[in-house]
Each structure stands twice: as structure tokens, then as C-alpha cells.
Structure 1
Amino acid sequence: MSSFISRNNTYSKIEDLPTGLLYKVTNAFVISNLGQLKHVTGLIKKEKINDCFLLVIYTEANLSVPRAIHDSFDSSIFDKVLFFKLPNNPNSINFKNIKYIESSYRKIIHRISPSRLYLNSFQFHYAVLANISKQLGSSVILIEEGLGTYRLSNEECYENFNSIDSKLLRKISKETLSKTEIFKKLYKRYKMTREFATESKRFFRKFYLSPEVQCRIINFYPNSNLKSFYKPFLDFDEAYTSFPALTKDKFNVKKNNYYFSFEEPTIDERQYALSIIEKYNIKPEDYLYLSQKFNINRVEYLLIVKHSLLRLLEGNDSIVFVKLHPKQEHELVLQGFLEMEKETQGRIKVIEESGFLIEEVIKLSKVQGVIGITSSALVYSSLISSECKSYSIADTLVIKLIDHKRNEKGIAMIKDHTRILKQFENIQFI
């Protein structure tokens, strides 16, 4: 039993769920992080949903998250809560893990038999869960979780590695057997040594666990639910999202509902936002810049951002307030923005705090614009404050970053996120 489980009506094993729950759960919500807990709690309160069961899925890789959920969920909303541990890397193609996940999800759905299952995601093991629930008669409902909800097209399918060829063998051999001096010098004479035997085991293990071989095993296994791991689940009975029209384009949803999760912040979130606005004297004519972490050269990043912000400030008396990423920014980035503050005599100003809710600051301060790279706040700002404009420097970064190996991953990620952003009409790319 998980050591952090201590609250009433909270469980860590499927078998521990009271048998009286059978056929009595009306609404089951599935979450994996605190953001999702906030989304579903807000929806439950807004829609006045009763008889709610909460399924919290987690892995050993990050136990602090389920502990935080355990300590913060509202027991007046959720009648029963099950914490279910998944194998590490649950989205990787691994027959053993997927088979275990499918079997466990089937047990859970059989046990609680929900009339309605609410999901924040629709990929990988969530798709397996959704398909099982559909088969057993549950309605499956989508709750928006940020911009990730809009990243897929209706035709998109994950790569189903269905071929095993010489390229795969050469690749794995290069990573294992070919590294050994024995292989290089003595292979032709078939002289077996301890090193060669060890690398041989590694070769066969890597070969067996390769996505190509694992996919073959899954495809041969007589359980269609395992194959649903490859394809996003699209056939929702209902959806609660901020952009119902776009949701309709992305999914096969029978009923689309408008739901904006930032409409009702907590009292603490509102008070914290007001304290930030008052401390820095943020006014309606000002801008907010939302810094993000990408795997790109930090010096180049700072220089491009500075030039972009200064162009926006030409001919006006506005101030750009910089909100650093909640996850600790690199010291060089922080120092770079502080240098900008000095150089511009406060026209670019750093907000020292980073853990506050930016959406509430936008709403209460009524700033005229939000600037960022691919932050979700660029999309939601127009829903938060109708007069607020959104500006993205994503294209500028991609064009001006030096074509160097150290920037490859970061540029690829910016491009990927930008494709999502360009579906929304309210964003200007500068």
C-alpha cells in the first residue's frame, strides 16, 4: 500500500475499493497532476456534478505529485479516490507494460462501472482506457487541458512500427556488439569471451525491447485494446473546452460545451495577482512578456527578445514586465533580463516572483498586450480580457537563432508548438 495514503475513502489498490461501489459510480474523473485536479474541480462546481469518483494515476518516477494531490483534493466533492500506480514510462511502446495497464484499467472500470468517464487526455494509455470504457457502456467526456488538446488532427496516428529489417539489426549491433574489440578482431573466428557474451545479451535485449519488435508482439496479441495505444481516442460523447468549434474539427464529439477553467480563480490566486499588480504598478497601457525554457543558446535568446521588446516599445511610454518561467530559470537568463532592466531604465522590468497565476494578472490589470513564444496564455488572453492583444516571437526566434547543433532541439520544439498556436486567430506573430 502506498505510504502517502491516509485520508478517508482513499485507496491504493483496486481490490480495496468497497464492493458496494459496484454499478453505483455516476461520474469518474481521471487525473495525473495538480493542474488537472484544478480543471476537474472547477468543472464539477460549475456544472454541479454529483456522485464523483477520482482516479489518480501516477508512477514511481515522481511521487511528490500524487502526494500533493492526496493532500489537496476536496473530499466534499469526491466520494471515493483511487491512487493507481502505472509502470514507469507508461507512454513507451512496451508490450508487458501496455498489457498490464490494459488489464488494470479493465478491472477498475468493471469495479466502478461509471456512467460517465471524464478524461483530460486522449493519447496512449488514456486511449486504451477510453476504449475499454466505451466497450463497457460508459460515456466518455473530454476536458480541455491546455493547448495540448488541439495538437492532433483527426487523421493523425502514432507510428506503428510494423517492420523489422536489416537497418534495425545494424543499429542495435552498432550500439552493442560492434563496440567490443573482440567483435572487431575475433568475430570471424567465433571466439567467445565474457565481453562478447555480455554484449550479445545486451544485443538481444535491445532487439526484443525495440519498438519494432514490441509492436509486432502487440499486433499478434488477440486483444484489440492494446492496439488502441497507437491511435488517439477521438470519439467522445461530450467535451468541455474553451474553443468548441476547434474541438469539433479535431474530434468526433456528439456534444460540445464551452468551459474556461480560468473563469473562477481561488481567493488566494486573486489576492496574489492583486499584490503583484500593486507591487509593480502594472497599468492597462503596459505589456507582459512570458519567458519560456527551450533548449537554445541563452545569449542568443536574450538578444533576440531584447530587440523584439524594444521594437514594441518604440513611440510609447509603456513598460514590458517580464515573468520568468515558474520552473527555475537559468541564472544567465535571469541576469540577462536584469541587465535589460538597467539598460532600458526600467522600460523592460523583471517581476521577481514567478509562481503566480498569469491569467489572473492579465484579467485584473487589463494590460494591453501579452508577449511570448508559445505560451498558452497567448491563446487564452483574449478570453480573459477582450482588449488584450497577443504577440508571439516564435517565428523571429526560429529565423534568427544560429543554425547550430546546440539549437536544433529547441528550434524543433518551438516549431512544433507554433503549429498549434497558428490555429488561433487572435495571435500576431512579430
Structure 2
Amino acid sequence: MTIDKALYHLKEYETTTGVVLSAESVAQLRKTFGAVLTLRPGPRETWDVTASSYVGHIELSDAIFHIRPKLKVETLWNWLTWAYDISSLRFQPPVMSVGELTGNSEWLVLFFIKECFAIWRKGLRAEYEQQEQAIGEVRGQLRVAPTLQKWMKQEYRFVCAYDEPTWQVKENKLLYAGIRHMVRKRYRNEEIGRELEKLLRLFESVEKGQMERVTLPVSVSEQVAELARVRITRLNRQYARALSWLTLYWKMTQLSTHEGNIFCDSFILDMNELFERYIARRLEEGLRMYGIEVQTQPRYWLAEANRLRIIPDLILKNRSGREIVLDAKYKTRTERSGNPDVYQMLAYMTARSTSSGILLYAAGLERVDKIRNTDKKIYQWSLGIDEWTDRESQDERFERIVQHIVSMLEEK
């Protein structure tokens, strides 16, 4: 029996009132989605629900929450394609509205399916592993001593060591794990389920079904970590797009839970993380030609005995070793919000013994602060992004930022 569910629409940081939820849904939201939605008791056994910096879709047993970003679809899509290196779609958004982009994962799964079938047609990547077996004819390298031992027992077979191809390589295992997870979900487009079932059968057909017994990481966070460890080379380049889609899929669905009879499906995008990844990838691309290295999420200790750990977003370093610390802030800079961020940046700069730091905001006012009695300067820059900003304006702004950074690192 289909249960009618109340649908609630919110934007980032927006509050909706009068929300009716079961005790199970309240517990599920607080346990799993506490960072996404904040609940406060309202009048007559209702709830006030406030969104944070996450966007997407949460489905509970009795309610659905659709959280939309403040940005327009072209901007959000541009950030996604940069952050997850899906360059082939950078200028061709596959969806026409923010609602489509954040409403469910079906468009993402469709792109993943397309790439998996393309890989299958080209041939799954295989590696060779050495096997040693007693066989009826000589193959590879004959192992003389073990063969003679068998002959003495009247077992007239040859013990040989030879290389055998195996398709159980990391890339195939990760794609298979993604397919297995996706096939369990419900889709409005029934064709998606059929195509996933077809893919599952194809992957399970290799090596006489051995893929089914592959040991896979048990949690989504482990899957994401495994994907991050895959390095794209000329040997596995055909997997690049599929693995990018899979990384985005795991990131956006990792809060889904299925406990007992409580179904809680999600498609959630952390806008803070997306903004940081977008900034990092764009700076890597723009600064590479100037010989400037972009180090992401480096960990350092501020106090002695490793007692105070700090993790700046980016370290920008030129060939001579001169560097700038950069922290991306997915928010609008105001005079009120600036001070805590400046103190945080000052800690980063102190730990790194560098004189320049950049706080890069999504929007807001700009300024430069010279720290008294030091040689340190903190630049507070803005991308000037709002719901009306187009891609061309963002590109122009980014080019100016790149040139500013190059000039700062070239200063004597």
C-alpha cells in the first residue's frame, strides 16, 4: 500500500513551520540528519524545521524534505563538474532546474550506467596473477621437482606456474559495489532498475561468478576512501568518468539508512564541501601553468607535543618554496562574520610561518588586513556569487584571482 507523504520545500538556512512528524521520523532525523536539518518544537505537536548548508532530498516513512540551494542550476552544475572532474559535461547541464538536480539521484545514476556500459563494451580492465596448478599439458613454466613427485605417485600431470588474467581489480570491484548499492533503490524511471539489473548480471558473469564473492568495504565512507586512492593512468583512463560519477553518488547518498521498517532515503550534497572542492580544482587548473602547487587539506600542529591540530583548506606553493594559505568559506562575508575567520587564518599562518593568507568567500565585501607588529597580511576576497551570477562572470573573477595569487607569490 502506498502511503501519502507530506512534502516540505526549503532553501538553505530557511525554516518551515507546522511540520507533522511521527516519533520514528523525529528520531531518524536527529540521529542521521542532525547536521542537515534542525528540529525545534512548534505549537500543537508540530515542529519548526531549519535547513543548514546542505541541499537535496530526504525521504522518511511519513514525510519528504526537499532542500534547494540559493544558487541557480547552472552555477551548481558548474561547481559539481569542476569538483568531481566531469569536464565533458562542464558546459552542458543535463537538468534544467535546481529541483531536478537536487530532487533525486536518478540523473546521476543514468550517467553512471552509461559509463559502465561503455567500459563493458571496451572490455573490463584485467591484471595477471601467477597460479600454480597440476595440469595435463605444459603451460608457462614447468616446476620440475613437484612434477616428478606427482609422477612417482603415478599422477601423470605437470605442475606449472603461469599467469592467468583476473578481472577482480580495484576499479571493477568499486563499480560492482556501486551497482549493487544502486540496484536496491527505488526509481521513478523503471528503466533505470532494469539497466542496473543488466549491468549486475554482466559483472557477475566474469570469472564464473567470482565477482559475487568479492569482499567490499562495509561503509560508504570506506567506499569514498577507496575511490580517492584510485589513480587514473593510461591503463585505466576509460574508468575516469564512471569513478567520478560513483564518487559523487556515494557522497550524496551516504546518509541513506534502512533500519527495521523505517525507510530513510537521501540525496544530500554538502555545499561547504562542494565549494571547497570547486575552489581547489579551479585553482589547480589555473595555477599549474605558473608552476604553483595546490596542496589540499594538509594537517599541521600549532602547539608543541602535537596538541593543537589545524587543517587549512589549501596551501599554494611556488617552485621557490614561497607559500600562501587559503581557506574557502561558503558564505557571504559581513563585518560581523569576518573576525572569527581572521583569527582562524592567523592560526594557520602562524603554524606555517607564512606572511600571506586568503579567505575566499562565496560573496560579500572585500578587504585586506595588515596584522599589527607583524609582516602578515590577510586578504578577504569574494567570488561575488549569488542566484543571478552567470558562469562567464565566475570565470572572469577566477582568472583575476589566479593572477592576484601569481603576483603575490612573485613579490620579493
What TM-score comes out, normalization by structure 2 length?
0.30
Which has more helix, going by share of residues? 1
- Higher gyration radius (CA): 2
What TM-score comes out, normalization by structure 1 length?
0.29
Which has more strand, going by share of residues? 2
